[in-house]
A and B are shown apart, each in its own frame.
Chain A
């Protein structure tokens, strides 16, 4: 699904990612853990196609195609989804109608007919229930006046509507209390399928109690220093990042 090879990225001339190799297979859930400033969000933005990130070396293949050549909207149309760490509010643009426009743009790319208003509303109701997002919120302007937890649920709601092939979830747990975390995790777990891959980016292990990954990677200072199974996350929780970084790879 996703193959990152020796990826080097600079921001304003400063190296942030210093040679990332990462492969996420079809249907797999990978967790990428790391302390603040390790480059986690940079990786998610580079994958989604944000401006301002210079790829100086390496490449990223998505479904066998060169991902970095694609415009952000083309990546989305090809099934890539980024769950934002800080979803931006867009006053004046309706959450639900914007999402319908997005879904229909993606469907058009796949050569599918647009979903009409009635079918879309049905779909929206079903998916909103999944993340317990009140109907009233789906209809408001995008993230406008949403609490931190509502914004994160809205991200998962959008993911559920758009049904991506690869979801990159950037610190979806940050700013959530334990109840909200469970709701978000439930939404993500409901989306797990043999055809769908996920890259779950997080600082803390607690999210991974609810979304159990197949593989865990540890990112420190722009490099993946360790990879392992879900137990690696537990070790991190107990010992901290520095000890895991310094321990010899088993």
Chain B
């Protein structure tokens, strides 16, 4: 569906929502209302302080939702993937109470709730273990340099179900905006590995909300390779006792790119564990932001939460803002966080060069190895290989490095 009319993002909000089930109209209305009241974020909005969205907020876009997202792999047995639009038309009761699972959305996520026209619902029934990963591609149509798309994905896993999902956000144009929302609902003892690759040169605002029931596990690995402006938020709500999440990320920021990762882990139940490791390399005039928040609610005793962000700055004009923070209301917890911002290790560089490795190749080897350690944590070998290739494609001397690391 293409709408050639160009409007600002807020200007494109309809005054009323007349189609779809009652509950969806209420959700959309609530989201639109919040947007009309709060507007889109500015520099004064704390969580958006370092994200330069002003140009996006004032720009005009035309809607274009063709084929986004699409399934890039055949569907394993037992799993269903249905168009959100079709389910909302034919059996809307199946989705009632399942959208906006993290509560009332704000800002760009609210915009997605108000305006998404279609999307995917992937459901893995209880007890179903999917060995082969499901791949989703969010490829932005290149017909217009000022189009906006609102991808919406809902993933539901029943008790004891297992899924590996690979998402690729791809696009070579700088102008289009992708404003995506992915929601994940994990029932008891469900396990999900979520690999996400951002190779979109354009404007991207994305959010992943994960609700986790007892003993469920969510593993996320994000690889971000540039982007004119990328803002990615992932939030895990650990609501069932013993739930675990591991959030890893690697970002490579060059040129004038701005790449912004925010994580939120809410420990709402006891005996939950969370670990976050984000690593980034920033060069040129690039800017990277890491903002990681761990909230431990009062009843979440025996929480274990760890957070680490390490950055390499490869030029004097590169910038990193990093802000790990903890809000702890329980007393029996183990929490740690750490941040480093530095240059390549001189000792390592010299060691490689003293053995005969040319300086620029030594640089590439070390920068690649720094990020590859994140990718290395992905247990699914083909996914790991995909991420390695995506990283290598951005590296000088990739053929030489491929053999070395």
A71, B405: Cβ atoms closer than 8 Å:
no
User: Which residue of A has the minimal Cβ distance to B362?
Assistant: A73
Bits for B19-51, please: 1 = Cβ < 8 Å to A, else 0. 000000000000000000000000000000000
Interface membership of A50, Cβ < 8 A: yes
Contact A76 B354 (CB under 8 A): yes
Residues of A within 8 A of B369 (CB): 90-93, 141
How many A residues touch the partner, as a band? 20 to 34
Q: CA A102 – CA B346 in complex, angstroms?
A: 18
Question: In the complex, which residues of chain B have a beta carbon less than 8 angstroms from the beta carbon of A87?
Answer: 351
Q: Which one of A49, A73, A77, A162 has the greatest number of beta carbons of chain B within 10 Å?
A: A73
- Contacts A93-B365, A93-B404 known; A102 to B355 CB distance under 8 Å? yes
* CB within 8 Å of B: which A70-108 residues: 71-73, 75-77, 82, 84, 87-88, 90-94, 97-103, 105-106
Q: Count contacts on B: residues with CB < 8 A to the other chain.
A: 28
Chain A CB within 8 A of B79 CB: no
List residues of chain A with CB under 8 Å of any chain B CB.
48-51, 71-73, 75-77, 82, 84, 87-88, 90-94, 97-103, 105-106, 109, 141-142, 158, 162
Q: B347 in the interface, Cβ–Cβ < 8 Å?
A: yes
Assess the B350–A105 pair: CB atoms within 8 A: no
A51–B359 CA distance with the chains assembled, in angstroms:
13
Residues of B within 8 A of A92 (CB): 368-370, 372-373, 376, 405
Which of A50, A71, A72 counts the most chain B CB atoms within 10 A?
A: A72
Provide a sorted-by-A list of 12 A–B residue pairs whose CB atoms are within 8 angstroms.
Answer: A50-B354, A72-B354, A73-B358, A84-B351, A88-B345, A92-B376, A93-B352, A93-B369, A97-B403, A101-B400, A106-B356, A158-B355
Which B residues touch A84, using CB under 8 A? 351, 354
Contact yes or no, B351 A101, CB < 8 A: no
Nearest Cβ on chain A to B345's Cβ, whole angstroms: 7
Contacts of A48 in B (CB 8 A): 350, 354
Which residue of B347, B362, B373 contacts A88 across the interface (Cβ within 8 Å)? B347
Quote the shortest CB–CB distance from B21 to chain A (angstroms).
51
Q: Point out the residues of chain B lying under 8 angstroms from A102, CB to CB.
A: 352, 355-357
Interface secondary structure of B, over-half rule: helix
A76 closest partner in B (C-beta): B356
Q: In the complex, what distance in Å separates the CA atom of A91 from the CA atom of B279?
A: 14
CA distance A84 to B345 in the complex (A): 16
Note all chain A residues with C-beta closer than 8 A to B355: 76, 98-99, 102, 158, 162
Interface string of B362-405 (1 = CB under 8 A from A): 10011011101100100000000000000000000000100111
Q: Does B400 lie within 8 Å of A71, measured CB to CB?
A: no
B348 within 8 A of A: yes
Distance in Å from the Cβ of B362 to the closest Cβ of chain A?
8
Chain B 92-129, CB within 8 Å of chain A: the 1/0 string?
00000000000000000000000000000000000000
Q: In the complex the two chains form, is B405's CB within 8 Å of A72's CB?
A: no
Asked whether B361 is an interface residue with its Cβ less than 8 Å from the other chain, the reply is yes
Q: Which 10 A-B pairs have the closest CB atoms?
A: A92-B369, A76-B356, A72-B353, A102-B355, A102-B356, A88-B347, A97-B404, A106-B356, A105-B356, A73-B353
The residue of chain B having its C-beta at the shortest distance from the C-beta of A159 within the complex is B355
Which residue of chain A is the closest to B373 with respect to CB atoms? A92
Given contacts A97-B404, A101-B400, contact A90 B350 (CB under 8 A): no
**Chain B residues, CB < 8 A from A77:** 356
Contact partners of B404 in chain A: CB under 8 A: 93-94, 97-98, 100-101
From B357, B366, B403, A105 is in contact (CB under 8 Å) with: B357
**What residues of B have a CB within 8 angstroms of the CB of A158 in the complex?**
355
Near A by CB (< 8 A), chain B positions 241-277 give none
Query: Are A90 and B356 also in contact (CB < 8 A) when A98-B404, A101-B400, A101-B404 are?
Result: no
CB distance from A86 to the nearest CB of B (A): 8
Among A50, A94, A98, which residue has its beta carbon within 8 angstroms of that of B352? A98
Give the residue of A71, A94, A109 whose beta carbon is less than 8 angstroms from that of B359. Answer: A71
A76 to chain B, nearest CB (A): 4
A100, B361: Cα distance in complex, Å:
14
Question: Is B345 touching A73 in the complex (CB atoms < 8 A)?
Answer: no
